Amino acid sequence: MLDTLRRFYHPGSDDASPPSGAKAWRVPYLREHAETPFQVLIGTILSQRTRDETTDVASERLFRAYPTPGALARAPLPRLVELIRPVGFYSTKARGIRDCAKALLERHGGKVPTSIDDLLALPMVGRKTANCTLVFGFGIPAVPVDTHVHRIANRLGAVRTQSPEETEEALRQVVPKELWVPINPLLVQHGQNLCQPLRPRCEACPISELCELGEERRAAVKGPRRAPAPPRKGAARP
Point out the residues that are catalytic: 128, 146
Q: Give whole-number Cα distances, 138 to 110, 133, 134, 155, 163, in Å.
A: 16, 7, 5, 29, 26
Q: Provide, rounded to whole angstroms, the least separation between the CB of residue 135 and ligand SF4.
A: 21
Q: Which is nearer to ligand SF4, 132 or 158 (CB)?
A: 158
73, 97, 170, 207: which one binds ligand SF4 (CB under 6 A): 207
3, 143, 213, 225: which one binds ligand SF4 (CB under 6 A): 213
Q: Which residues contact 4 (CB under 8 A, 6 or more apart)?
A: 206, 207
Q: Provide, rounded to whole angstroms, the least separation between the CB of residue 186 and ligand SF4.
A: 11
Q: Which is nearer to ligand SF4, 21 or 139 (CB)?
A: 21
Determine if 195 is a binding residue for ligand SF4 (CB under 6 A): yes
Name which of residues 58 to 77 contact ligand SF4 (CB under 6 A): none
112 in Cβ contact with 133 (< 8 Å): yes
Amino acid 232 reads: R
Q: Which is nearer to ligand SF4, 69 or 164 (CB)?
A: 164
Q: Report d(CA 41, CA 166) in Å as an integer.
A: 23
Determine if 183 is a binding residue for ligand SF4 (CB under 6 A): no
> Considering only 41-49, 114-122, 175-183, 209-217, which stretch makes contact with ligand SF4 by CB under 6 A?
209-217
6, 200, 220, 227: which one binds ligand SF4 (CB under 6 A): 200
Determine if 155 is a binding residue for ligand SF4 (CB under 6 A): yes
Q: Count interface residues toward ligand SF4 (CB under 6 A).
A: 14
Q: Provide, rounded to whole angstroms, the least separation between the CB of residue 106 and ligand SF4.
A: 44
Q: Provide, rounded to whole angstroms, the least separation between the CB of residue 22 and ligand SF4.
A: 17
> Considering only 22-30, 89-97, 126-134, 193-201, which stretch makes contact with ligand SF4 by CB under 6 A?
193-201
Name which of residues 133 to 152 contact ligand SF4 (CB under 6 A): 152
178 in Cβ contact with 139 (< 8 Å): no
Residues in contact with ligand SF4 by the rule CB under 6 A: 152, 155-156, 194-195, 200-202, 205, 207-208, 211, 213-214
